[in-house]
Amino acid sequence: MPTYDFPQNLRDAQLALHQTRAAYEQYATTLPWSAEPMPGWEGDKQLHSSYRSHKEDSPGYTEEQAEEVRRFQEELRRLSAEVATHPFWESLSGPDLVDARMVLKHAHEQPEGGA
């Protein structure tokens, strides 16, 4: 696998993107299933199964929860744009560009200078 000399600010932005995505996904597990208040439901019993799907009523997001979701989404967009439009990518083309973008996603798993 080829190695690339990613600039530190690009490595940092990619790591921040990973960390922000993980924090957002963790936060999302604490939220109601619907952003808006919605009634719950219970599905019909399926043939050859005792499983019956259902959802409890959703109170919707509080204003604080909605604001936190917006904050996460805005930060994810900003970091994604920072990584995607970094000047480093102009030094590559074709398959090398695609390969380098994939390698960067795992660069934080390598010791610095090793990716």
Tell me how far apart the 2 most distant CA atoms of the chain are, in Å: 58
Q: Output 79 or 48, whichever has higher pLDDT.
A: 79
Query: In sequence order, which residues have a C-beta less than 8 Å from that of residue 76 and are 6 or more positions away?
Result: 17, 20, 21, 24
The DSSP code for 36 is S
pLDDT at 111: 65
User: pLDDT band at 112, cuts 50/70/90?
Assistant: low
Alpha helix ranges (H) inside the chain: 8-28, 63-84, 94-104
Q: Are 105 and 10 in contact (CB under 8 A)?
A: no
Q: What digits encode the pLDDT tens for the residues 2-54? A: 789 999 999 999 999 999 999 999 999 999 999 999 999 898 877 788 777 88
Annotated domain spans of the chain: 8-33+62-109
pTM for the whole structure: 0.83
Percentage of the residues of the chain whose pLDDT score is greater than 70: 95
**Mean pLDDT of the 90-102 span:** 94
**How many Cα atoms occupy the beta-carbon half-sphere of 104 within 13 Å?**
26
